[in-house]
Homo-oligomer: A and B are copies of this chain.
Amino acid sequence: MARIICQQLAPQIADLAGNCRLSIEAIRAAVQGKADVVVLPELVTSGYVFESREEAVSVAIPASHRLFVEWALEAARGPSVVVGGFCELGQDGLLYNSAAIVDGSGVRAVYRKTHLWEREKLIFQPGAEAPPVLDTQVGRIGVLVCYDLEFPEMTRTLALRGADLIAVPTNWPLVARPADERPPEVIIAMAAARTSRVFIACCDRVGVERGQEWTAGTAIIDQSGWVIATTPEAGPATADVDLVLARRKGWSELNDVLGDRRPELYSALSAEQSVSTQLPLTVSDQTRC
């Protein structure tokens, strides 16, 4: 069994030093709690609601920053694997909304969010590379950041590449939803988990930042698509899971959620041209006889 702990936090906007301490303490607590995998929110080092690109630059750090040595030192005590978001200053001088995957050996990979949400487009450069799928001591871990999750192509691709668990640092702005419904992002994650029989761990934020309320929607989801851990408050959501179950892609001997695919019918998904922008906004005459 592997223990997954999502540390739902409340970083402070543009407080790099404080957020670094917060992240290190959160990893330490999770490792003490025997986490094999620790997931932190998106942009945990910087906060999210920047007033300007300049403000983001002021707290951006490279992947070589000392912080990740600290994360690795904490991870080594497990040993654990840590996945957390940060505001990255690239060697190219551009900003990326990134996630670091760190274990006791150091930074294993950095993933730069490829699908930017809303005003992120005014601040960050979209990543050019597909997300990593890393072999770790507990299984294969794929990584997405927030809005990436809402592209079923992304979760599916990670499953096809062998991910047992998809770790998703997020900052979900609170949106309206009907009573008794889960946050829509969680529903999307549940569907992705079930359709590809893969575990998904989304680590969200709590609180309010410059008027933006967060969903506090942290959710760990099993390979059948059911939510097995959440928390409404700051702190950990914990689940013990058997990641090997993600390698059984059939509900029975006569089906296989990946093997039953019909790739020859899916070529439109990777076609360069977007169809949607060519569509007219009107429909045909709707009047009834």
Interface residue? A160 (CB, 8 A): yes
Residue of B nearest to A189 (CB): B191
Supposing A152-B191, A226-B181, A270-B264 touch, asked if A258 and B276 sit within 8 A by C-beta, the answer is: yes
In the complex, the answer to whether B257 meets A160 with C-beta atoms within 8 Å is no
Instruction: Tell me whether B270 and A263 are in contact (CB under 8 A).
Output: yes
The CA-CA distance from A69 to B7 in the complex, in Å, is 60
CB of B153 within 8 A of CB of A284, answer: no
Name A156's contact: one of B188, B226, B269, B289 (CB within 8 Å): B269
Q: Is the CB of B268 within 8 A of A161?
A: yes
Q: How far is the CA of A252 from the CA of B270 in the complex (A)?
A: 25
Interface residue SS majority, chain A: loop
Q: Chain B: which residue is nearest A287 at the CB level?
A: B137
Least CB distance, A252 to chain B, in whole angstroms: 6
Whether A93 is near chain B, meaning CB under 8 Å from some CB there, is: no
Out of B79, B140, B261, B280, which one reaches A153, CB within 8 Å? B261
Contact of A285 among B119, B137, B153, B266 (CB under 8 A): B137
Instruction: Name the interface residues of A216-244: CB closer than 8 Å to any CB of B.
Output: 224-226, 243-244
Is A65 an interface residue, CB under 8 A from the partner? no
A118 within 8 A of B: yes
Smallest CB–CB gap between A161 and chain B, Å?
6
- Among B115, B261, B276, the residue within 8 A (CB) of A274 is B261
Expressed in whole angstroms, the Cα–Cα distance for A255 and B146 within the complex equals 14
- Total number of A residues with any Cβ neighbor in B under 8 Å: 89
In the complex, which residues of chain B have a beta carbon less than 8 angstroms from the beta carbon of A279? 162, 247
Given A268-B160, A269-B269, A271-B263: A152 and B150 interface contact (C-beta under 8 Å):
no
How far is A268 from B261 in the complex, measured between Cα atoms in Å?
12
Shortest distance between the CB of A238 and any CB in chain B (Å): 16
In chain A between 131 and 166, which residues have their CB closer than 8 angstroms to a CB of chain B?
Answer: 135-140, 147, 150-157, 159-162, 164
Q: Is the CB of B225 within 8 A of A284?
A: no
CA–CA, A280 and B248, complex, Å: 10
Tell me the nearest residue of chain B to A1, going by C-beta. Answer: B286
Give complex CA distance A255, B212 in Å.
18
- Return the CB mask of A173-215 against B: 1 if under 8 Å, else 0: 0000110110010011011101100000000000000000000
A164 to chain B: closest residue by CB? B283
Give Cα A265 to B270, complex, Å. Answer: 7
Task: Give chain B residues whose Cβ lies under 8 Å from the Cβ of A274.
Answer: 160, 258-259, 261, 263
Q: A151-B195, A187-B187, A191-B190 are in contact. Are A258 and B270 (CB under 8 A)?
A: no
For the complex with contacts A150-B195, A187-B191, A247-B283, 19 further pairs of A-B residues with Cβ separation under 8 Å are A1-B286, A2-B286, A34-B288, A114-B262, A115-B262, A140-B283, A152-B152, A152-B192, A152-B195, A157-B265, A159-B276, A160-B276, A161-B275, A188-B191, A243-B283, A244-B281, A247-B280, A248-B281, A263-B270
